């Protein structure tokens, strides 16, 4: 008996098979089931290729791609501040602490205005989907009404969102116009948001996940960190924060807790195997070992790190320590909502790390050996690496994975290219206009 599928896409695909390898499938049928998963992939050599295709054609559920179109898994943005979208591209020359106080906190404070929140969040979610980002791990603001609008925008436009109510109650490191009034308030409102999102999820098949979100160690008091760690355990939910992002942040923990930033978060129960820590440019081997032991993931944000990181994250070293790693835009610490741009910057930064940058030094003393990553590894970070960090069965084109896909057209085709060349060109040349279709959980959203 031949089964008919909800949707069948016939075309060519690329998908990560490991941290360094990409699988090319010249022609296949990607068959989607009613629940938004890839039920099967069928190759021309399989006996029922023709019959499945004919049935899909007859049912009008077949999409046949053009020769220069390619199917890729949708991207996962593992670290993005939704409220900062209006500031993308601003003030990147300021140090982190000044940037937060002068540009970022005043903007985030505006989200007590729900009309402003709706306007920005609907725009951002559509922008990310148009760029091929099918899942995003969001920082919201302290305001739950606005955070709910972000989750509603994800549902409305069809994106899988992980949304955090930001907790920031340390009066010494937050402005009085934008902070949680106390540790108790920060924790209670985090718990309230978990419940509110639970209710919202009753109305949709595309579930949005609440995330425990201490902004970073400096913004929080020991009491809120403790309370949030307790919530992470009670609800078994993801945690997100920033960890050792910059010299300043790294130094803050040492000065105020006489502990490393990672150890402070661990002390309060925040480094779980559902935790995603942004940046980590200043993490050391001790921290990597801790992350690997606890199953903590790093969200690598290579564009943002150029401005605020004070160093290049040695991604290859992080992966070698068996730390889960994905890719984030860190809007607006990073200027671009595109993970393609971040894939490119991840490769470029890693090459600068390997070669070194000070031309006054002899070549053999300039850089850090064995640091360069390939564009295939950067693609892995944007897909499977992010999926594993969020415990999602997505990021790969294979049976049993969620149908989160993007269809991209290759523009500069003047000669026959082999699969590796096509893949590289797609990674380096794709712009938003070339991303022609996007699917989340089987639903076409672009
Ligand atoms: N550390 C604390 N808050 C922030 C933020 O909004 N952006 C970045 N890049 N780092 C932070
Ligand atoms: Fe950030």
Neighbours of 416 (CB within 10 A): 7
Which token pair is 363? 């070549």
Question: Which whole number is the average pLDDT over 398-426?
Answer: 95
Query: Does 446 sit in the ligand 1 pocket, CB within 6 Å?
Result: no
Percent of the chain that is helix, strand, coil (3-state, to 5): 45, 20, 35
3 Cα–ligand 1 center, Å: 49
Atom of ligand 1 minimally distant from the CA of 108: 6
Query: Does 326 sit in the ligand 1 pocket, CB within 6 Å?
Result: no
Atom of ligand 1 minimally distant from the CA of 279: 9
Query: Does 79 sit in the ligand 1 pocket, CB within 6 Å?
Result: no
Query: Does 261 sit in the ligand 1 pocket, CB within 6 Å?
Result: no
DSSP per residue, 98-159: HHIIIIIHHHHHGGGSHHHHHHHHHHHHHHHHHTTEEEEEEE--S-HHHHHHHHHHHHHHT-
Query: Does 138 sit in the ligand 1 pocket, CB within 6 Å?
Result: no
- Ligand found nearest the CA of 307: 1
For the stretch 36-87, pLDDT in tens is 999 999 999 999 999 999 999 999 999 999 999 999 999 999 999 999 999 9
Query: What pLDDT is stored for residue 394 in this prediction?
Result: 98
100 Cα–ligand 1 center, Å: 7
Interatomic CA distance for residues 383 and 149, integer angstroms = 26
Interatomic CA distance for residues 138 and 111, integer angstroms = 15
- Cis peptide preceding 162, ω within 30 of 0: no
For the stretch 348-401, pLDDT in tens is 999 999 999 999 999 999 999 999 999 999 999 999 999 999 999 999 999 999
109 Cα–ligand 1 center, Å: 15
- Ligand found nearest the CA of 80: 2
CB-facing half-sphere around the CA of 192: CA atoms within 13 A: 15
In 3D space, the residue among 101, 82, 108, 103 whose CA is nearest the CA of residue 92 turns out to be 103
Query: What pLDDT is stored for residue 2 in this prediction?
Result: 63
**Candidates 98, 175, 216, 240: which one to mutate for ligand 1, based on the most atoms within 8 Å of Cβ?**
216
Measured between its terminal Cα atoms, the distance across the chain in Å is 33
Residues counted in the chain: 446
Interatomic CA distance for residues 160 and 295, integer angstroms = 22
For ligand 1, atom 8: residue with the closest CA: 333
Interatomic CA distance for residues 308 and 246, integer angstroms = 6
* In the predicted structure, residue 252 carries a pLDDT above the cut 70: yes
- Ligand found nearest the CA of 277: 2
| Residues facing 58 on adjacent strands | none
Query: Does 242 sit in the ligand 1 pocket, CB within 6 Å?
Result: yes
pLDDT band at 295 (very low <50, low <70, confident <90, very high): very high
Query: What pLDDT is stored for residue 1 in this prediction?
Result: 60
Query: What pLDDT is stored for residue 206 in this prediction?
Result: 98
* In the predicted structure, residue 3 carries a pLDDT above the cut 80: no
For ligand 1, atom 3: residue with the closest CA: 215
Which token pair is 73? 């898994």
- Ligand found nearest the CA of 96: 1
For the stretch 199-236, pLDDT in tens is 999 999 999 999 999 999 999 999 999 999 999 999 99
Query: What pLDDT is stored for residue 416 in this prediction?
Result: 83
Q: What are the residue ranges of helices labelled H in 273-380?
A: 285-294, 302-308, 315-320, 339-355, 363-366, 375-380
Q: Is 328:278 a contact under the CB 8 Å cutoff?
A: yes
Interatomic CA distance for residues 378 and 344, integer angstroms = 8
């Amino acid at each position: 008996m031949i089964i008919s599928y909800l949707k069948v896409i016939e075309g060519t695909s690329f998908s990560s098979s490991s941290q360094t390898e990409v699988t090319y499938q010249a022609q296949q049928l990607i068959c989607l089931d009613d629940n938004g998963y890839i039920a099967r992939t069928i190759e021309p050599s399989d006996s029922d290729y023709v019959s499945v295709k004919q049935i899909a054609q007859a049912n009008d559920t077949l999409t046949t791609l053009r020769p220069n179109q390619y199917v890729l898994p949708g991207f996962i943005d593992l670290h993005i501040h939704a409220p900062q979208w209006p500031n993308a591209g601003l003030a990147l020359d300021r140090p982190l602490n000044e940037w937060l106080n002068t540009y970022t906190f005043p903007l985030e404070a505006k989200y007590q205005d729900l009309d402003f929140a709706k306007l920005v969040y609907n725009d951002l979610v559509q922008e990310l989907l148009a760029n091929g980002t099918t899942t995003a791990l969001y920082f919201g603001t302290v305001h739950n009404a606005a955070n709910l609008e972000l989750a509603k925008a994800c549902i409305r436009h069809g994106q899988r969102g992980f949304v955090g109510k930001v907790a920031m109650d340390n009066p010494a490191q937050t402005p009085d116009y934008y902070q949680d009034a106390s540790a108790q308030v920060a924790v209670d409102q985090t718990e309230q948001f978990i419940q509110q999102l639970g209710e919202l999820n009753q109305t949709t098949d595309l579930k949005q996940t609440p995330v425990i979100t201490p902004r970073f160690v400096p913004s929080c008091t020991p009491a809120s960190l403790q309370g949030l760690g307790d919530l992470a355990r009670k609800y078994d939910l993801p945690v997100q924060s920033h960890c050792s992002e910059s010299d300043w942040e790294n130094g803050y923990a040492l000065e105020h807790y006489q502990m490393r930033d990672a150890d402070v978060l661990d002390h309060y129960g925040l480094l779980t195997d559902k935790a995603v820590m942004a940046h980590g440019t200043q993490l050391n081997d001790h921290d990597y070992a801790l992350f690997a032991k606890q199953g903590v993931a790093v969200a690598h944000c290579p564009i943002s790190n150029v401005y605020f990181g004070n160093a290049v994250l040695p991604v290859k070293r992080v992966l070698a320590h068996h730390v889960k790693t994905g890719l984030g835009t860190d809007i607006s610490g990073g200027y671009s909502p595109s993970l393609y741009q971040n894939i490119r910057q991840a490769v470029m930064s890693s090459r600068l790390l390997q070669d070194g940058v000070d031309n006054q030094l002899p070549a053999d003393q300039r850089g850090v050996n064995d640091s360069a990553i390939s564009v295939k590894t950067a693609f892995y970070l944007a897909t499977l690496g992010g999926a594993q960090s969020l415990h999602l069965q997505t990021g790969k084109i294979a049976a049993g994975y969620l149908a989160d896909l993007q269809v991209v057209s290759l523009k500069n085709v003047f000669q026959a290219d082999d699969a590796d060349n096509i893949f590289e060109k797609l990674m380096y040349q794709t712009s938003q206009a070339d991303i022609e279709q996007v699917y989340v959980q089987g639903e076409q959203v672009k």
